[in-house]
């Protein structure tokens, strides 16, 4: 897994052990998503949920994002993200924390040192170790909305299995969707009140 563009272009990221249930973002999806996000990246504050190796947030840092905060529910992933940040020279701009993303997320703003984020990327796992389907997307979006983590004018991206049904929380709207094989990426923003 390598950084696609920016100051760390071509540099490799450390991966997690294969036995871990981490499905990294594919190069194809990452390239497409970052082509779409390009105008928003310079100086952006990034939140990478279910961060795995940190590939999404670190790609954003390489392309000019101001900061990235990574959350994963596996401490081994947090350690890999911290190592990747150090190896690529982004330790001052990125921080990784252990946390249950399906619970209250109001702590994130405090720990990240920012009130909200310009870009939030959510890549919840699709399946359990014994191949049972998971459905974390609706709950994750609800926790993000409850904690008011998305900045006005910001965008939240949800990577999910194409057959998973998702409910968009009140106050938000889906404005774009891209399909890549069995994966969909939904682009979500806050609704601007009329008047």
What residue segments make up the domains of the chain, in order of their start?
Answer: 27-190
Strands 172-180 and 150-161: unpaired
Instruction: Please state, as a whole number, how many other Cβ atoms lie within 10 Å of the Cβ of residue 72.
Output: 25
Q: What is the mean pLDDT of residues 24-29?
A: 86
Q: Is the pLDDT of residue 194 over 70?
A: no
25-34: b (≥16 Cβ within 10 Å) or e: beeebbeebb
pLDDT band at 3 (very low <50, low <70, confident <90, very high): confident
Reported as a single tens digit per residue, the pLDDT across 4-15 is 888 888 778 887
The pLDDT value recorded for residue 17 is: 67
**What's the confidence (pLDDT) of residue 61?**
97
CA atoms within 13 A on the CB side of 121: 27
Helix (H, G, I), strand (E, B) or coil at 94: strand
Torsion sign (Cα): 78, 138, 113, 31: positive
Question: 27-190 in CATH: which number?
Answer: 3.40.50.150
| Termini Cα distance of the chain | 46
Strand spans (E) along the chain? 45-49, 67-72, 94-98, 117-122, 150-161, 172-180, 183-190
Using CA atoms, how far apart are residues 95 and 72, in angstroms rounded to an integer? 11
> What confidence tens digit (pLDDT) does each residue in 156-170 have?
999 999 999 999 999
pLDDT of residue 1: 78
């Amino acid at each position: 897994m390598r950084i696609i563009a920016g100051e760390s272009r071509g540099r490799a990221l450390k991966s997690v052990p294969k036995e871990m249930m981490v499905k990294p973002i594919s190069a194809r999806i990452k390239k497409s998503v970052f082509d779409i996000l390009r105008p928003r990246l310079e100086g952006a504050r990034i939140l990478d949920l279910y961060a795995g190796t940190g590939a999404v947030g670190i790609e954003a840092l390489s392309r000019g994002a101001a900061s990235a905060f990574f959350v994963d529910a596996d401490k081994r992933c947090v350690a890999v993200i911290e190592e990747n940040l150090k190896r690529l020279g982004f330790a001052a701009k990125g921080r990784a924390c252990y946390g249950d993303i399906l619970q209250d997320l109001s702590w994130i703003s405090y720990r990240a040192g920012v009130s909200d984020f310009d870009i939030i990327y959510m890549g919840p796992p699709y399946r359990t170790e014994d191949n049972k389907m998971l459905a974390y997307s609706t709950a994750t979006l609800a926790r993000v909305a409850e904690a008011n983590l998305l900045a006005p004018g910001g965008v939240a991206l949800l990577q999910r299995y194409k057959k998973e049904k998702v409910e968009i929380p009140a106050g938000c709207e889906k404005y774009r969707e891209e399909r890549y094989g069995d994966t969909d990426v939904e682009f979500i923003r806050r609704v601007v009140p009329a008047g």
